[in-house]
Every structure is written in C-alpha cells, then in structure tokens.
Amino acid sequence: MTAEKQNIHPKSGTEMNGAETLVQVFADEGVDSIFGYSGGAVLPIFDALYRHNEVMIEEEAVPINLVVPANEQGAGFMAAGYARATGKVGVLVVTSGPGATNAITPIKDSMADSVPLVMISGQVPTGAMGTDAFQEAPVLNALGPCAKHVFLVKDANKLEETVRTAFEIARTGRPGPVVIDIPKDVQNWKGAYKGDGNLPIRGYRNRLEDAKKAVISDGKCAQFFNLLKNSNRPLIYAGGGVITSEASEELRLFAEKYNIPVVNTLNGIGAIPSDHKLALRMIGMHGTAFGNYAVEDCDMLIAIGARFDDRVAGNAASFAPKAKAIAHIDIDASEIGKIKTAHWGHVGEAKESLQRLLSYGKDFEKDYSRWIEHVIALKEKYPMNYDRKSKLIQPYYVLEELNKIVNGEAIISTGVGQHQIWASQYLDFIKPRRWMTSGAMATMGFGLPAAIGAQVACPEQMVIDIDGDGSIRMNMGELETVINYDLPVKVLLFNNSADGMVRQWQKMFFGKRYSGSDKIRHAKDFVKAAKADGFKYSKRVTKKEDVAETLQEFISYNGPAFLEVVIDRDANVYPMVAPGSTYQQMDTGDFIPSRPTPVEKDEFEEIIESDSLPDAF
C-alpha cells in the first residue's frame, strides 16, 4: 500500500448530509466539547451529533461532549473559557435569528481578547434568505465587524472545506473567532465526504508564511542588543500574546538571563509567575503603584505581545516618558507603531522571537543590579495595601485569605467590575492560563459561563468564578448549568449592593451622584437562588471573623459551591489612573503610598537621571 493511500481518510467517499459532514470535521479537528443551544435551524446538526455519539459509544470511543447553556451568550463565553484554559479552539453552535444575535457579544469579546472560537449558526434555507423568514437574521452583516472572519455557506459542496478552514483561521496568526452561517438546506444536502481539503485563502496563508519565515536576522538581533547594552533601566512589558504564543517559559528565561524586570497587562497575567523576583505585576489604570512607577523610570521598554491599549497607556504621549527606545514584538503587524513609535520592531510569534534573541544573545552580559535594587525598593515602598483595621469585610482581605488556600494554582475566572481588578491585584498566578477575564470588552456576565467552559476543559483542575452582585446577574441562569453537568465550579460572590466600578467613578468624577448604579433596594437572596438551582453548598458571610474558616470550607467542599461575601460597599479600587492621566498622576488612595511630583531626589537619583542610550534606530 502506498503512503498516499495510507493517508486517505477512512470515511472518504462515504455519503453524508451537511450536518453529518460538519460533525465529522469536528471529530477530525479533535473537538471534544461543544457548547450549544438547539433550535429549528440547527436541528439537523444536533441530530447528527446525537447519532455520531451513539456510534462512538458503541465503538467504545470518546463521544463529543455537548453542554447546553441557559442561553446562547452563555454558550459563547463557555466556549471562550474552554479556549482560554487550553489554547484549543472553542466551539459553539446556535440557531438562527435570536440564537445568532445572542452570541454577538461573546464573539466580539473573543475578538477583542484574541480567543480562538468557531461558531456555527443555523440559517433559514437559501431560498428564503432575504424574505424576512421566521427567525432570520443577517449574520454575515451583523457579525462581520465583530469576528475575525464570517463564512456564509450557500454552496453545499464547499461546506467541508469551509469548516476545516474556519478552524485554521481561528487558531493561526493572531487567534480569533470565526463564524460559519449554514442555511438549513445546506445542512440537509447529501454528498460524498472528502476527508481533506481547505479553501484557497492564499493571501491569509501567505501572510502567515511570511510571519513564520521572518526569523530575526543577525543584523536586527545586533540592533536589539546594542539598544539593551546602552540601556541602564530596561523593562519588559508582557501582554496576552505571550500566553497565546505559549511563550511564558521563554519570557521567564529571557528575564532571568538578562536580569530584566517584567510588568504585565490584565490579559498578560500569568505570563511570568506573579511571585517571581523580577515580576512587578500588572500596570495601567489599576496597575500596581510600583509597576507603574517602574514604567515611569525605565529607559528602554521591551513590549512583547502587548498593544499599548488605552487602559495601559491612557496618556500615550507620556507613557514611559524616560524610555529612549521601545522594542516591540507582536504577531500582528498593525499593532507595531500604532500607539507608540517602535524604535525596534519584529512581526512574529513571541515564543520563536524570544528563542531567537536568547540564542543570539547567549554571551550578552550587562550588570543591571542597580536597576533591580531600584525596582525592589519600589515594591517595598509602594506596596498594595488597604484598611486592615476596618471592622467591615474588605474584599482585599478575602482575596488574601483565598490566596493562602489556592497558592496560585486554581483557574480563576471573573466577572467585570471592582472584583475583577481586586482579583488581579491580590491573587497570585504561577502558571499561564490560570487567569480568565474579559479584558478589552469588559463584558459583565463573563465570569460564570467562562468558569464552566474551563471546568469542562480541565475537569481535574480547581476552577473559581470570582464575581460581583451586578455582573453575575447578567448570566445567573448558568448556575443551573453547573448543577446539570455536576461541575465542581466554585462561585465566590462579592456583594456590595452596587455596580461597584460605576459607583466608584461616580464618586470620583460625578459628584457622588449614584445614578443607576446603586442596588441597595434590590432584595435578591443569592444564597436561596443558588440553592434553588441545586447548589447543596450555598452560604453567606457577613462577619470578618468568619471569612477565613468559611473560605477553607468553601474551597474544600467536594462539588459545586456558592459563597456570598457581603463586603464594605465603600471599598474602592486603588491605584487608579484617571482617563488621560499619566502614571505620575496616579491616585493611590489612603493606604498605598504615592510618589511626590516631581520625583524627589533620593538614593536612586543617579540611576533615574542617567540616560545613555544612542539615537534610536
């Protein structure tokens, strides 16, 4: 038998309908879980999945797990949680019309945070399209601006290649969500299964190939290390691209090899262990004071898989004001130079780029010990802190106690709001893909369904959703999904009877006019709601002295668990860099020290003021 014949798909030539073809490509792509809600326009797909799984069970093979959410938005965030926790493509299937439009938010959310998804939406038959048919929605037009790519399959002969190509686009380059809109008549069409083949997307593949071939030349490596040699205060700025590229180990080796401190973005949490001696944690609007001050003081900024977004560089012109050189590595060419001019840039994967620089610079040495002493002093002088004497439950205290229990090992998902930022500030993350949050879109309701997706993907891993009373309401129906699938997800709810982050902004910038953000009149009993959905462990903590013991009980519980903690409703997020302000103008609150403006001369004045970089390349 020839090698060519050996590679023929075992089902090549088998007659299948369109829905069966779709499910078979799922199986070929290694899909083990699908998150989806049925409906008239996807009944053939759900039926094909059912029959596929029957065969798998008969053959003692592993079927494709189907998780049915409370609504389609939940399905999208579950698929995103699955993808964020594993790096694999998350898959969701929704019906036409409202099914597809309910999924717009998680698709846009995943696009903004570069999460690989494939969404299948059912569509009315091709002959009925454009007639305002029952449950018809213009998916191509509605989701086109929100996704990495959208396919509308009208030619059934191209369905197989389209699905395979969608997975290729979703996972390659800068990952993102791909939508395939499949009319019902295409799902019912019958034809021979080919077993291979993709669509001819030549331009996209050429760009990918160019990026793969773009190994950093010796000349560019020399330029980089010349800049590094002439720098006294280099700083690495790591973003989510480091995690997407599976480059965390290379980042750690790079930082340790050259003794360069590291700051990270919200989505870059876990790129380097947060307890590492070189880690300065998150920077930006709610970054650590010491991390933000390090950005103020550095003379060379090395951005890796980060994009200088407005929550990091709110005042772009004054971001890293003493940096005479900015080096930027990113898989997306459009990001380099978009916000800040890059004096040295490279378009490529973070992993391969760092490997290349490490290889070229194996003999490079420079003593940055004085700079390291400086950043260590910043950490000691401007640490995270809060009112530790308060009799009310402070959210920071709860997270510090939780941190002692989970030790940076749990997968943490969050909703959006104050609780999200407190978690990013006070929890440790020692590995990548342990932190999941809605970054660029900041979508309330993300936390619970994303935790479900992560738990499905990582059944042996502890998964905790840290949520707020405002955010969890958005997708609270997914509590039932946790119970339906007997998932040991832990839900830790901070209740301050408010949309806390909005309330904080109203307090700081709108004269304490709490319009629409105050939920003190909302009488929802979250504990009873969780019990009604089937949580056998569902408790509320209102006393500070009960926090530590109850947290231990909550985490140790064998199964799904829900814990509501009633916190000080006036607890705020600090530090806070107001929109358009510089890091030097950062508000650190009453318990985190702030640096005088202008910087007073101290034992580090010489290193702060010395600038010896050459002209930028």
Domain boundaries, the chain: 11-210, 216-382+581-609, 395-566
Q: Tokens at residue 328, please?
A: 């930027």
Catalytic residue among 72, 250, 352, 478: 72
Query: Global pTM?
Result: 0.95
DSSP, collapsed to helix, strand or coil, labels residue 425 as helix
Confirm or reject CATH 3.40.50.970 for domain 395-566, answering yes or no.
yes
pLDDT, tens digit, for every residue of 573-584? 999 999 999 999
Pick from 277, 395, 372, 380: nearest CA to 592:
380
Q: Amino acid identity of 235?
A: L
**Is the separation of the CB atoms in 376 and 241 below 8 Å?**
no
Question: Active site includes 257?
Answer: no
In which element (H, E) is residue 121 found?
strand 117-123
What Rg, from alpha-carbon coordinates, does the chain have?
Answer: 25
Assign 608 a pLDDT band (cuts: 50, 70, 90).
Answer: low
Question: Active site includes 562?
Answer: no
pLDDT, tens digit, for every residue of 63-79? 999 999 999 999 999 99
Q: What are phi and psi of 271, to 5 degrees?
A: -60, -35
The residues facing 546 across adjacent strands are none
Task: Measure the CA dihedral 262/413/110/126, to 10°.
Answer: 170
Token pair 């995103």 in the structure block, residue:
80
Question: Active site includes 526?
Answer: no
pLDDT, tens digit, for every residue of 378-409? 999 999 999 999 999 999 999 999 999 999 99
Quote the CATH superfamily of domain 11-210: Thiamin diphosphate (ThDP)-binding fold, Pyr/PP domains (3.40.50.970)
State yes or no: pLDDT of 200 exceeds 80.
yes
Q: What is the mean pLDDT of the chain?
A: 95
Edge-to-edge, what's the strand order for the sheet holding 435-436? 435-436, 411-414, 463-468, 490-495, 561-566, 537-541
Distance between CA atoms of residues 304 and 540, nearest Å = 42
Assign 210 a pLDDT band (cuts: 50, 70, 90).
Answer: confident
Q: Tokens at residue 236, please?
A: 């690495």
The mean-pLDDT minimum among 39-53, 100-114, 115-129, 506-520 falls in 506-520
Assign 441 a pLDDT band (cuts: 50, 70, 90).
Answer: very high
Question: Active site includes 72?
Answer: yes
Assign 598 a pLDDT band (cuts: 50, 70, 90).
Answer: low
Catalytic residue among 285, 436, 501, 576: 501
First to last CA, the chain: 58
pLDDT of residue 596: 86
Q: Which architecture, in CATH terms, is 216-382+581-609?
A: 3-Layer(aba) Sandwich (3.40)
Question: Active site includes 134?
Answer: yes
Catalytic residue among 15, 54, 134, 591: 134
DSSP, collapsed to helix, strand or coil, labels residue 476 as coil
The residues facing 467 across adjacent strands are 493
pLDDT of residue 162: 98
pLDDT of residue 617: 29
Which residues make Cβ contacts (< 8 Å) with residue 168, sequence separation at least 6?
A: 198
**Is the separation of the CB atoms in 265 and 282 below 8 Å?**
yes
pLDDT of residue 611: 45
pLDDT, tens digit, for every residue of 5-60? 568 999 999 999 999 999 999 999 999 999 999 999 999 999 999 999 999 999 99
Distance between CA atoms of residues 23 and 54, nearest Å = 13
Q: Amino acid identity of 401?
A: E
pLDDT, tens digit, for every residue of 240-254? 999 999 999 999 999
Catalytic residue among 88, 108, 148, 184: 184
> Which of the two residues, 597 and 242, has the higher pLDDT score?
242
Distance between CA atoms of residues 148 and 111, nearest Å = 7
pLDDT of residue 520: 81
pLDDT of residue 522: 75
Q: Tokens at residue 146, please?
A: 């929100």
Distance between CA atoms of residues 495 and 158, nearest Å = 51
Catalytic residue among 56, 135, 161, 585: 135
Cis, peptide link before residue 125, omega less than 30° from 0: no
Give the per-residue SS3 of 394-461.
CHHHHHHHHHHHHCCCCEEEECCCHHHHHHHHHCCCCCCCCEECCCCCCCCCCHHHHHHHHHHHCCCC
Distance between CA atoms of residues 381 and 376, nearest Å = 9
Average pLDDT for 220-228 = 98
Assign 213 a pLDDT band (cuts: 50, 70, 90).
Answer: confident
